[in-house]
């Protein structure tokens, strides 16, 4: 049975989509059969693969709202082992509904359960909010990855996300695990980045991936090339880091200490008190 991993954070621009696209491509290169589902109506996963509006024969919101069969929304990519289900493009004129019903319907979970036997990993790229869409992704998931951008307010707002995650684990999905927190856009030449990294590792204890994703222009060029970085520059730092992350995930023993779910309470304060204030 495949594992469903949701990539979540209510903060925009922290690297969720970049992680989804490049991590999935790396796992596909390592011969794992992958499905990536874009739950964000912004449709950035589709643009990362060069799909335009008219290339999409049906998206995840067609399955949620009309009775389109999920199999009919699976699009193959040019990459072996890598399929995706796009989001419908968020187009105000098309009258489509991007609302997902409250949790109790467990609709997304039920829809996805039929696919678990076809893939080794199913990833869900979430929108930047703690909306019903994200809640449903947490209910449907076996585990989660939370990207943390290595910047000053890195831990701010994490409290709300962890609170939601704990509530969902308690009431709807007791098996939910952390795969890990992922430091993204790291620049170790920069002291602030180093301090943030240390603070995040200290606060989140053993739950932070060893692998960190550096700031790398090739990753930002993914939508321009219309393919994951590993497909146009396999030796750049961005590609090699996501490949390392894929290997780290395959080597994890798959369990996290459930006490950590209870005990993780990152303080919602800026990263470093030692930093000098510039007057
Ligand atoms: N490691 C990185 N190095 C350089 N640019 C990055 C990196 N990760 C993400 N980006 C860029 O930062 C922006 C936000 O990333 P994205 O993955 O779309 O975040 P999210 O999905 O969380 O909103 C995008 O323009 C993306 O290309
Ligand atoms: Mg995104």
pLDDT tens for the chain, residues 1 to 279: 899 999 999 999 999 999 999 999 999 999 999 999 999 988 999 999 988 877 888 899 888 887 789 999 999 999 999 999 999 765 554 555 556 666 666 788 999 999 999 999 999 999 999 988 899 999 999 999 999 998 888 888 788 999 999 999 999 999 999 999 999 999 989 899 899 999 999 988 889 999 999 999 999 999 999 999 999 999 999 999 999 999 999 999 755 555 555 555 544 444 444 333 443
Neighbours of 240 (CB within 10 A): 18
- Tell me whether residue 200 is in a domain: yes
Among the bound ligands, the one closest to the CA of 43: 2
Q: Measured from the CA of 14, which atom of ligand 1 is nearest? A: 22
- Tell me whether residue 268 is in a domain: no
User: For the domain that residue 137 is a member of, what is the CATH number?
Assistant: 3.40.50.300
Dist. CA 249 → ligand 1 center (Å) = 21
Name the residue range of residue 130's domain.
Answer: 3-263
| Sign of the torsion angle spanned by Cα atoms 175, 168, 131, 19 | negative
- Tell me whether residue 275 is in a domain: no
Q: pLDDT value at position 188?
A: 86
C-alpha–C-alpha distance, residues 63 and 70, integer Å: 6
Strands 34-38 and 82-85: parallel
Write out the residues surrounding ion ligand 2, Cβ under 5 A.
16-17, 44
Could you tell me the end-to-end alpha-carbon distance of the chain, in angstroms, rounded to an integer?
58
Dist. CA 37 → ligand 2 center (Å) = 12
- Structurally, how many domains does the chain consist of? 1
Q: Are the CB atoms for 45 and 36 separated by under 8 Å?
A: yes
Of the candidates 4, 274, 236, the one whose C-alpha atom is nearest the C-alpha of residue 120 is 4
Q: pLDDT value at position 258?
A: 53
- Tell me whether residue 272 is in a domain: no
Q: Are the CB atoms for 88 and 61 separated by under 8 Å?
A: yes
**Residue with CA closest to ligand 1 atom 25:** 220
- Tell me whether residue 196 is in a domain: yes
Of the candidates 219, 221, 201, the one whose C-alpha atom is nearest the C-alpha of residue 210 is 201
Q: pLDDT value at position 132?
A: 86
**Residue with CA closest to ligand 1 atom 12:** 13
Q: Measured from the CA of 128, which atom of ligand 1 is nearest? A: 23
């Amino acid at each position: 049975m495949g594992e469903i991993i949701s990539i979540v954070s209510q903060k925009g621009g922290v690297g969720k989509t970049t992680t989804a696209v490049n991590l999935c491509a790396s796992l596909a290169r390592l011969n794992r059969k992958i499905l990536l589902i874009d739950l964000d109506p912004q449709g950035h996963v589709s643009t990362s693969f060069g799909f335009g509006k008219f290339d999409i024969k049906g998206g995840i919101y067609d399955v949620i709202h009309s009775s389109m069969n999920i199999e009919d929304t699976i699009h193959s990519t040019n990459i072996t082992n890598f399929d995706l289900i796009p989001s419908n493009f968020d187009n105000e004129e098309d009258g489509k509904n991007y609302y997902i019903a409250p949790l109790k319907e467990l609709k997304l979970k039920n829809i996805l359960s039929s696919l678990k036997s076809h893939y080794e990993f199913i990833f869900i790229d979430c929108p930047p909010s703690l909306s019903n869409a994200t809640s449903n992704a947490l209910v449907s998931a076996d585990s989660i990855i939370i990207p943390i951008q290595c910047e000053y307010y890195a831990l701010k707002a994490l409290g709300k996300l962890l609170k939601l995650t704990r509530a969902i684990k308690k009431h709807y999905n007791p098996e939910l695990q952390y795969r890990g927190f992922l430091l993204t856009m790291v620049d170790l030449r920069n002291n602030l980045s180093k301090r943030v990294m240390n603070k995040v590792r200290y606060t989140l204890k053993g739950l932070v991936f060893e692998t960190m994703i550096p700031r790398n222009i090739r990753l930002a060029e993914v939508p321009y090339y219309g393919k994951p970085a590993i497909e146009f520059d396999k030796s750049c730092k961005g590609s090699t880091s996501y490949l390392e992350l894929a290997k780290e995930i395959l080597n994890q023993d798959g369990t996290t200490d459930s006490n950590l779910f209870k005990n993780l309470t990152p303080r919602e304060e800026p990263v470093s008190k030692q930093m000098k204030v510039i007057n």
